[in-house]
Amino acid sequence: MTFDLQCTDSKTNARAGIITTAHGQIETPIFMPVGTVGTVKAVHLTELSEDIKAQIILGNTYHLYLRPGLEVLEKAGGLHKFNGFSRPILTDSGGFQVFSLSGIRKLREEGVEFRSHIDGSKHLFTPERVIDIERTIGADIMMAFDECTPGKASFEYAKQSMELTHRWLDRCIDRFKQTVPKYGYAQSLFPIVQGCIYPDLRKRAAEYVASKDAEGNAIGGLAVGEPTEKMYEMIELVNAILPKDRPRYLMGVGTPVNILEGIERGVDMFDCVMPTRNGRNGMLFTQNGIMNMRNKKWEYDFSPIEPDGASYVDSIYSKAYLRHLFHAQELLALQIASVHNLAFYLWLVKEARKHIFAGDFATWKADMVKRLLTRL
């Protein structure tokens, strides 16, 4: 994998670049649709590739390990062959799922023992096991196994958690070096910076991760309950330390405004379930603000979802029709809303990239933030 840093904004830390992987190039800043179990929920592959124009998607190690399972994925030739997505794929490590399964898991030095949320069966994730699983999934970019620290954790807990993540990282790197890709193309391993909301810990974690000289680096453990301003503070601190010539990935963030704030602070890659999850619940993100498609105000509004929209759905379907579909509980409502929101997120990062090159990112971003926060 290579990263070509093409442009840095003169007034902020916003950057534009190109990541090159075995499955193609990714123009940054980029948003990655979340394909948890090998599919982006309610979105057809053709829409994902041609209408949304996703350059990279994310798969989830924990969920793919449970379903369809490693035997199926290996026999298929990896996730690319299994789901038909020919462009780059990134897999997370399962660390966040371990965090969210706190009631049914046991954390220790060796790894994490947990029970499946599907059938209650017992499993063990170690750093070595996770690397082996990600090799079998076959993602272009693999995440190191970490513990995602709760946003309101005490300093002492966050310190112990960060140190455990660092020991696990060393084991992940060793296992990565001991193994080879299974499907004939290169894979990259990204470490994850933890440390909760404590500047001293984030600084130590960023320095430790930077010392590993990985092909890219990630920032984890944010947007998990901490104040938004603390999240932005931690991003600034970490990005001042992480190498500038490697891509920076902010995991699981977030709203359109969060993404613009992250870009301004030097983040290159984002993912979040928000566009599809909120879309399935009737919330649409647009260039002029947020729409709740269940509201009565759209009942007789036969105008396009977004006149200058970012995907084909905006010109085909009206607000009134989409509202009708939600109230009639038609599955098409979920599909239209998901495609629209993902296309909007991809439009947003593409526009950010354009304004970074144009030299007016700060002015454009300030105007966009005001518009994005509007409730229509």
pLDDT at 331: 97
Token code pair at residue 327: 């109230």
Q: Which amino acid is at 309?
A: G
Cβ contact 300:318 at 8 Å:
no
Give me the phi and psi of 169, to 5 degrees please. -60, -45
- In whole angstroms, what separates CA 141 from the centre of its chain? 12
Question: Whole-angstrom Cα distance, residue 64 to residue 76?
Answer: 13
Q: Which of 72, 61, 3 is nearest to 35 (CA)?
A: 61
Q: How many CA atoms lie within 13 A of 107 on its CB side?
A: 20
Q: Which of 189, 193, 171, 170 is nearest to 181 (CA)?
A: 189
Cβ contact 364:372 at 8 Å:
no
pLDDT at 151: 85
CA distances (Å), origin 284, targets 1, 59, 287: 35, 23, 10
Cβ contact 70:123 at 8 Å:
no
pLDDT at 261: 98
pLDDT at 87: 98
Cβ contact 109:166 at 8 Å:
no
Per-residue pLDDT of the chain (376 residues; tens, 9 = 90+): 999 999 999 999 999 999 999 999 999 999 999 999 999 999 999 999 998 999 999 999 999 999 999 999 999 999 999 999 999 999 998 877 766 766 667 889 999 998 888 898 999 999 999 999 999 999 999 999 999 888 889 999 999 999 999 999 999 999 999 999 999 999 999 999 999 999 999 999 999 999 999 999 999 999 888 999 999 999 999 999 999 999 999 999 999 999 999 999 999 999 999 999 999 999 999 999 999 999 999 999 999 999 877 777 888 999 999 999 999 999 999 999 999 999 999 999 999 999 999 999 999 999 999 999 999 9
Residues annotated as part of the active site: 92, 271
Question: Whole-angstrom Cα distance, residue 227 to residue 8?
Answer: 28
Token code pair at residue 86: 């020919």
What's the 3-state SS for the chain? CEEEEEEECCCCCCEEEEEEECCEEEEECEEECECCCCCCCCCCHHHHHHHCCCCCEEEEHHHHHHCCCHHHHHHHCCHHHHHCCCCCEEEECCHHHHHHCHHHEEECCCCEEEECCCCCCEEEECHHHHHHHHHHHCCCEEECCCCCCCCCCCHHHHHHHHHHHHHHHHHHHHHHHHCCCCCCCCCEEECEECCCCCHHHHHHHHHHHHCCCCCCEEECCCCCCCCHHHHHHHHHHHHCCCCCCCCEEECCCCCHHHHHHHHHCCCCEEECCHHHHHHHCCEEEECCEEEECCCHHHCCCCCECCCCCCCHHHHHCEHHHHHHHHHCCCHHHHHHHHHHHHHHHHHHHHHHHHHHHHCCHHHHHHHHHHHHCCEC
The pairing of beta strand 141-143 with beta strand 188-190? parallel
Residues β-bridged to residue 26: 19
